[in-house]
Amino acid sequence: MGTRIEDQPPEHWAGPESLDPTPVWKQYALIGIFLVLGLVLVGGVAVMAAAPQLVTPPALVPGDRLVLSTTDLPSAGAPPKRIAAPLVDDAHAFWLVRLPTTEVVALRAQWTNALGRDCPVSWVSQINGSPVRFFAAECKGFGTTPFFSENGDRNVGAPRGLDRYLVSVSGDRVIVNLSRLIVSAERTSAPPSP
């Protein structure tokens, strides 16, 4: 048997229906449907990306981003501002701090100790009438009270610093990304060298 069409038996021949192509209007309709679905998808992503610029602060937008006004920022050197209910739940509450370097940080209002327990974090502005500036974690059953510097770094009694949320300041808005928690690394002392 050869490969010419005349050499093939009739039962191997393709029927006339196989030569009938899909109508052109169906091809255009299919392409049109895919284009519309693609545009809707791109439009949805664009609206979600632009949401922090479109809403009136304070507002929580898709993607767990909290939009605040720059008037909500404490001035440099002022005590931090606690942001909690009704804007965010207790698990996402944070301290908004403006450092003297004009850097803005959002420190989580809960600190997890070595045993995995969450401890509420409070701002301490004075001890025995003397002015101080630091955070303290109130851990029940913990031998010492862990203290943290104004920017959340570990201090006395704390094996690690406070966790932070990603913050950006643009124009008249402060955007705190609550889905991006920057976990502070635990630091331990090195063994003595020989």
Place of tokens 């404490």: 74
Place of tokens 């300041």: 169
- Partners of 115 in beta bridges: none
Q: Cα separation of 188 and 112, whole Å?
A: 16
pTM over 0.85: no
Fold designation for 59-182: Rieske Iron-sulfur Protein (2.102.10)
Return the DSSP state at 185: P
Distant-in-sequence, close-in-space partners of 59: CB < 8 Å, separation ≥ 6: 66, 67
pLDDT band at 189 (very low <50, low <70, confident <90, very high): low
| pLDDT tens digits for range 79-133 | 999 999 899 998 899 999 998 877 899 999 999 877 778 889 999 988 888 888 8
Q: Which residue has the higher pLDDT, 142 or 104?
A: 104
Q: Cα separation of 125 and 130, whole Å?
A: 8
Domains in the chain: boundaries? 59-182
| pLDDT tens digits for range 147-174 | 999 989 988 888 889 999 999 998 889 9
Q: Cα separation of 148 and 131, whole Å?
A: 15
Evaluated on CA atoms 66, 72, 77, 78, the torsion sign reads: negative
